Structure formats: C-alpha cells, structure tokens
Amino acid sequence: MIEETGARCAVIIVAAGSGQRLGHGMPKARVPLGGAPMLAHAVRGVVNAGLASQICIAVPAGDEELVELCHQLAEESGAGREVRWDVVDGGADRAASVRTALAVVMPGISSVLVHDAARPLTPAGVFDRVAAALRDGAKAVVPALAVVDTIKSVVPAELPATGAGVEKVAGTPARNRLRAVQTPQGFQLETLRRAHAHAGTLDADAAAGITDDAMLVEAIGEDVYVVQGSTHSLKITTPMDLLLAEAMLQGPLRPRWVEG
Ligand code: CTP
Ligand code: MG
C-alpha cells in the first residue's frame, strides 16, 4: 500500500558491492541465504514495508543475473501499476552507487530511503520508524542500536621495549552516547541530493572514508535524527554474519514476511 498523505517515497537499495569480506567469489547480493539470493530478501523486505512509490536498485555494472532477478522480483510483487522499478549500474564505491540511483528518482518523490542489500532481514518496523520521523519533519533519519562493546579510538604506536608496530588507545568515548547505525537511512530528497553534491567535492582520501549517507548530511550541517533500529537488521559482512542470518531464517527469529 502506498502512503496516501501526498509525501511520496523512493527506496534505493544499494547492491553493487563485490562482497570481498564474505569471500564467496561473487557479488554479495547474489550469495544464497535461505535458498534465495541475498538481494531477493532485501527487496522483498522493502516491498513488504509497503511505503515505496519507487524502488531503485543499484547492481554491479553488467551483472545480467541480478538485473534479471530484479525483474522477477518486480513481477512477483505485482509491480507496474503502483510502484515504479528501476535497476541501475552501481559505481566504484557505495556513495557512487547511491548517486547513480538518485539520478533516476522520478519527479514527485519527496523523500528517499537508502537501504543496504547487505541487510536482508530488516523488519518493516524499522522502515516505518524512519518514514514516520521524515513525516514528522526530520530532513535525515538513521535507525540505530546502543552499542554493547566499549569502543576506543586508536593511533599507530610502537611497543616500548621492541619498537614493534602496534596501536595504542587515544580515547574512550562514553558508551551511553554511542550508537551503531544501520539502514534504511531516510532523507528528504533535496537534502540527500545536496549532501551527495557536496561529496563530489571531496578528495580521494575523504571520499574513501564515506561509510554512510548520513555522514554526508552531517557534513552539510543538517541535523540527523535517530530512531530505534533492530538486531534483525544485521549487516552481512563476514561468513559469521551469514551463518547467523541462516540461523535466524530457520528459527523463531525468521521474519514473518519471508516466504515458506
Ligand atoms: N555497495 C554498492 N556499491 C559499491 C559498494 C558497496 O552498492 N560500490 C553496497 C553493497 O552492495 C552493500 C552496501 O553497499 O549492500 C554495504 O557495503 P558492504 O557491506 O561493504 O558490501 P560489499 O562492498 O559488497 O562488501 P566488501 O566491502 O566486503 O567487498
Ligand atoms: Mg564494501
């Protein structure tokens, strides 16, 4: 169901990464999870959330298999009448992939959610909370969890006796003020476009340090609001993460919207 308040939302799914750390020798979006490619879960989760007027998916350039999968998923969802689907070639890094998808956002869209295909099990409630904060006037919103580990910043160092290269602690931010940030991240379209235009002016080092869209919005001085994320929204990066996601699909943590 498309929201009827007049504020129309596009969801960008970035799926153009190569999946180096997972090490399956194929783009992560194609890696099977519970018998289906990871991207299929991510897309079904977006469809299930029911707030997109447009779904834009960035896949690795020239990946016909993923393009075909997207077309199948569009058909499965009964697309065409209510939701516009676009599949675009991603870029060299995540931010570039977001930009290629942003370029095809259709007229009339006022807000955008950017979601990682690498978070295939994100529950609808997270999409709802992000969209609700946008409706309540936020220009940028991230879902997040409190962190359980104590986090320290480090600098390169040498051990006193041997000179062996190690790291040493530079500081310990107060844990109760730290959050682990997830996707979908939500933005007013105009804000995200401005943030990415700013990103285009960064040098290579700074550009390499961009790990999410919200930090670009922070860089242009806009407030980024925080809503509750979900432990189900884990990012699949390493083989251990994939094992955990497989276990979730087989047990009581299986998302209700997963078929079968
Ligand atoms: N992504 C993208 N385009 C890129 C790089 C990343 O669309 N050029 C997407 C990934 O597909 C993923 C999300 O951004 O959904 C987060 O990236 P990450 O988890 O790092 O995925 P990969 O880059 O595929 O993994 P790795 O860094 O291990 O190669
Ligand atoms: Mg990556």
Question: Which atom from ligand 1 is nearest to the alpha carbon of 18?
Answer: 24
Q: Find the 29 Cα to ligand 1 centroid distance in Å.
A: 9
Residue nearest to atom 17 of ligand 1 (CA): 17
Q: Find the 17 Cα to ligand 1 centroid distance in Å.
A: 3
Whether 84 is covered by a domain: the verdict is yes
Question: Which atom from ligand 1 is nearest to the alpha carbon of 58?
Answer: 7
Instruction: Put residue 118 in one of left, alpha, beta given phi > 0 → left and psi -120 to 50 → alpha.
Output: alpha
- pLDDT tens per residue across all 260 residues of the chain: 444 446 799 999 999 999 999 999 999 999 999 999 999 999 999 999 999 999 999 999 999 999 999 999 999 998 656 899 999 999 999 999 999 999 999 999 999 999 999 999 999 999 999 999 999 999 999 999 999 999 999 999 999 999 999 999 999 999 999 999 999 999 999 999 999 999 888 888 888 899 999 999 999 999 999 999 999 999 999 999 999 999 999 987 787 766 54
Q: Which residue among 94, 185, 196, 215 is best mutated to probe the pocket of ligand 1, counting the most ligand atoms within 8 A of its Cβ?
A: 94
Task: List Cβ neighbours of 235 (8 Å cut-off, separation of 6 or more).
Answer: 116, 118, 119, 182, 241
Residue ranges lining ligand 1, Cβ < 6 Å: 14-21, 28-29, 58, 90-94, 97, 116-118, 235, 237
142 forms beta bridges with 226
Question: What is the number of domains present in the chain?
Answer: 1
Whether 62 is covered by a domain: the verdict is yes
Question: Which atom from ligand 1 is nearest to the alpha carbon of 29?
Answer: 11
Whether 166 is covered by a domain: the verdict is no
Say how far apart CA 193 and CA 177 lie, in whole Å: 29
Say how far apart CA 252 and CA 249 lie, in whole Å: 8
pTM reported for the whole predicted model: 0.95
Q: Which residue among 26, 28, 241 is best mutated to probe the pocket of ligand 1, counting the most ligand atoms within 8 A of its Cβ?
A: 28
Whether 234 is covered by a domain: the verdict is yes
Whether 171 is covered by a domain: the verdict is no
Task: List Cβ neighbours of 103 (8 Å cut-off, separation of 6 or more).
Answer: 88
From the CB of residue 225, how many other CB atoms can be counted at a distance below 10 Å? 16
Whether 237 is covered by a domain: the verdict is yes
11 forms beta bridges with 55, 113
Residue nearest to atom 18 of ligand 1 (CA): 17
Q: Find the 239 Cα to ligand 2 centroid distance in Å.
A: 14
Ligand 2 being an ion, which residues bring their Cβ within 5 A of it? 17
Whether 138 is covered by a domain: the verdict is yes
Two tokens, residue 174: 């107060």
Q: Find the 236 Cα to ligand 1 centroid distance in Å.
A: 10
Task: List Cβ neighbours of 116 (8 Å cut-off, separation of 6 or more).
Answer: 13, 14, 42, 183, 235
CATH of the domain at 229: 3.90.550.10
Q: Find the 98 Cα to ligand 2 centroid distance in Å.
A: 13
Whether 168 is covered by a domain: the verdict is no
Range of the domain at 137: 2-143+182-250
